Amino acid sequence: MGKLLGKDLICTQEWSKEDLDRIFKLAFEMKQDRFGEKYLNILYRKQFFMFFFNPSVRTRQSFEAASTELGAHAQFLEPKAMRLKTAKSAGETIEDAAQVMDRYAYGLGIRMLENKVTYYGEGDSLIREYAKYTKMPIISMAHDKFHPCQGVADIMGWIEWLAEAGKQKTGSLATEFDSDGLVGKKLLITWSQGALCRSLCSVQEAALLAGRYGMDVTIAHPEGYEFDPDVIKATRENCEARGQEFTVTQDPEAGYEGAHVVYSRNWMSSEAYQDGELKKEEEIAKAQKYTDWTCTAARMKRTDNGIFTHPMPIDRGAEVEDAVASGPNSCIFDVAENRLHGQKAIMAATMAGFLD
């Protein structure tokens, strides 16, 4: 186990499993004792900067709520309100802006997604450059490669539903961190058509974490919608290290067989960026041609009483049928709630050293 105070969270793969376990354990405890006195002043009067290149629903709300419940103040920042250097205009460099922010705050979250970058990986590079010039922890609030906070919320939700004390066995959610309930379970991450043209960040994070926590991982997508090769390599290695199976298929049907968790989501193709620009309309039009990639109730019947998961927002009717998204085996709102509790644990550990 390492010291977590000041530690950046850009991708969960960069943390040891032992340190992730500590975060999960604390997150479950915080969820059960949400306003417990021992948590209320962990970040008393400290500042958390939230730097949004892209808007959100869950991310801003959950981080602001998390900050308040820990005694901190969350400050909303966006590029248009700051004089920053860009490729087209003069202004403050990342080196200068980061070091100034570091004198004011105890943590910095950055959100930079598909339409705010000119090529895949640019958001990841920007976050890492901020991390280079700060002592305070940098937390990815979603960028073009990874979404660690969503990954934490996903794993929490799947544990709640699949652990021995989970919902499918007792009718109520599991209340303690017990990752053994995930071992040997099958996760299907399947591409689906949709009109939101989104990055790979959430699904790539889910694949990495699932393998580390002992799940079989199947990734299904049409040709041209491949994951980052480095993520595929790491996921394969994660699964092999735990003795689990890793499969990639271009069959929209096969992956559902025996699945315990189905993650049906649209993501952009490898051709999304051309000449330094996201070709959003072209991507959306191309995705609509694949009419056989919706998560349906009929397909879910082929699972092992599988749960449906999604980070939201959902393109209902395209990514998934309403009967599935709003059905009895949908864990989407439990996962969304867990963004709050997981982020509280991450902030307490990295900004206050609560677990050191």
- φ/ψ of residue 111, rounded to 5: -125, 115
Predicted pLDDT of residue 176: 86
Q: Which fold has domain 150-336?
A: Rossmann fold (3.40.50)
Please determine, looking at this structure, whether the domain spanning 12-146+339-352 carries the CATH number 2.40.50.140. no
Predicted pLDDT of residue 159: 95
Q: Domain residues of the chain, as ranges?
A: 12-146+339-352, 150-336
pLDDT tens, per residue, the chain with 356 residues = 789 999 999 999 999 999 999 999 999 999 999 999 999 999 999 999 999 999 898 999 999 999 999 999 999 999 888 878 676 778 799 999 999 999 999 999 999 999 999 999 999 999 999 999 999 999 999 999 999 999 999 999 999 999 754 455 445 677 889 999 999 999 999 999 999 999 999 999 999 999 999 999 999 999 999 999 999 999 999 999 999 999 999 999 999 999 999 999 999 999 999 999 999 999 999 999 999 999 999 999 999 999 999 999 999 999 999 999 999 999 999 999 999 999 999 999 999 999 99
Residues 288, 193 contacting (CB under 8 angstroms): yes
Q: What DSSP string describes 308-324?
A: EE--S---BTTTB-HHH
The residue whose two tokens read 């449906």 is 308
| DSSP H helical ranges for the chain | 17-32, 37-40, 58-69, 94-104, 122-132, 148-162, 167-170, 201-212, 229-241, 280-287, 297-300, 322-325, 332-352
Is it true that 12-146+339-352 and 150-336 share their CATH fold?
A: yes
Residue 86, burial from CB neighbour count under 10 angstroms (0-12, 13-18, 19+): exposed
Predicted pLDDT of residue 138: 98
Amino acid at 268: M
CA distance 76 to 322: 34
SS3 content of the chain, % helix, strand, coil (to 5): 40, 15, 40
- What lies within 8 Å, CB to CB, of 74 at 6+ separation is 48, 49, 50, 63, 64, 66, 67, 68
Predicted pLDDT of residue 13: 98
Predicted pLDDT of residue 171: 56
The residue whose two tokens read 């021995």 is 164
